Amino acid sequence: MKILSGIQPTGRFHWGNYFGAIRQYIALQGHEQSFYFIADLHALTTVREPHVLRQNVKDAALDLLALGLDPQRATLFRQSDVPETTELTWLLMTIAQMHLLEKCHAFKDKKAKGIAADAGLFTYPVLMAADILIYDSTTVPVGADQIQHVEVTRDLAQRFNTIYGDTLHLPEAYVLDDSAKVPGRDGEKMSKSYDNIIPIFETPKKLGKMIMSIKTDSTSKESSKNPDTCSVFELYKLFATPEAQMTLTERYRAGGMGYGEAKQALYEAAIAHFETAFARRTQLETSPDIVEDILREGAHRARAKAQEVLERVRAACGLLAKPV
């Protein structure tokens, strides 16, 4: 399998990013190709302060390494360090039909809200397609919100192949059912833009406060509760063993337990789960040069593959294979 995925450095990573994507990056490292990148070019559609973007990229790299991404078994790099991607974006843009991009949700949602979208947002899925296709990727671990973009990638690759002959490989999204759409504190999809996130690297005090603020229904402490409709339980399931899940399910159903207790169980499970990552992050913070070296080395490896594929694509559409 040739694995590829990207994540935007638009702020602090949250539990949705972790369970929907990062956990799978780590589980899938060590394959024939395990490429993961920090999507700084995509982030430019929303982050417009250079120092913020630079800091976010550093933090993103630290977070991913602390969470278990191993540079010996995976390639970690910055999207903008592989300029071949932007050339492929243009080549794909020349065959991308407007109606295909008009139905993509990031653009459609903004338009529906009456917010003026720029061309970067409109063509965002084409850049994402180039990210995937430039490494001949077969498997793209993502959360549910990115499935549409992987479908667009397949459509674009197919159309390119129909016009120019078999050149690009069709990838598939890799989505885990139980964590494809992690809920936020308000029960909606966890997302920075909904202001409902729970960050991965948060101080215990703030984390406790955030967990206590998760929305629950008004069932009294004495009454039996339904774990299947409760966001606290849905989040707890992501951390807990099947046995621990069963124990809490029984306590929900039996009554006599307030939501505060379920939240406390969630808090403890989260602290235990990320304990090692916290320690590793603190250690990594002391050696920023190592992180920069990892990104540079990653870009070097990724570029070699990107150049090979771009040459094939250039030749297919009648450009010189190697630019002079």
**Interface ranges with ligand TYM (CB under 6 A):** 5-8, 16-17, 20-21, 39, 42, 128, 131-132, 140, 142-143, 145-146, 149, 179-182, 189-191
Q: Which residue's C-beta sits nearest to ligand TYM?
A: 20
Q: Is there a catalytic annotation at residue 305?
A: no
Shortest separation between residue 180's beta carbon and ligand TYM, angstroms: 6
Shortest separation between residue 240's beta carbon and ligand TYM, angstroms: 18
Closest CB to ligand TYM among residues 28, 257: 28
Closest CB to ligand TYM among residues 180, 257: 180
Closest CB to ligand TYM among residues 53, 257: 53
Shortest separation between residue 51's beta carbon and ligand TYM, angstroms: 20
Closest CB to ligand TYM among residues 21, 257: 21
Catalytic residue among 2, 108, 181, 189: 189
**Chain-centroid distance, C-alpha 197:** 14
Query: What are the φ/ψ torsions at residue 14 (nearest 5 degrees)?
Result: -125, 180
Closest CB to ligand TYM among residues 14, 225: 14
Q: Which residue is listed with tokens 């993509």?
A: 104
> For residue 33, what are the β-bridge partners?
2
Q: Is there a catalytic annotation at residue 58?
A: no
User: What's the rounded Cα separation, in Å, for the pair 86 and 75?
Assistant: 19
User: What's the rounded Cα separation, in Å, for the pair 299 and 208?
Assistant: 38
Amino acid at 106: A
CB of 175 within 8 A of CB of 142? yes
**Chain-centroid distance, C-alpha 224:** 36
Dig out the tokens for 177 from the structure: 């059912």
Distances (CA, A) of 266 to 97, 214, 277: 46, 11, 18
State the CB neighbour count (10 A cutoff) for residue 66: 21
Catalytic residue among 113, 181, 192, 206: 192
Shortest separation between residue 132's beta carbon and ligand TYM, angstroms: 5
Q: Is there a catalytic annotation at residue 192?
A: yes
Distances (CA, A) of 313 to 88, 103, 162: 8, 26, 13
Nearest to 88 by CA among 50, 59, 130: 130
Shortest separation between residue 149's beta carbon and ligand TYM, angstroms: 6
Distances (CA, A) of 304 to 16, 83, 135, 299, 313: 32, 12, 10, 9, 15
Shortest separation between residue 245's beta carbon and ligand TYM, angstroms: 19
Catalytic residue among 110, 111, 181, 215: 110
Closest CB to ligand TYM among residues 37, 267: 37
Distances (CA, A) of 205 to 45, 196, 202, 216: 33, 17, 8, 20
Catalytic residues, which ones? 110, 189, 192
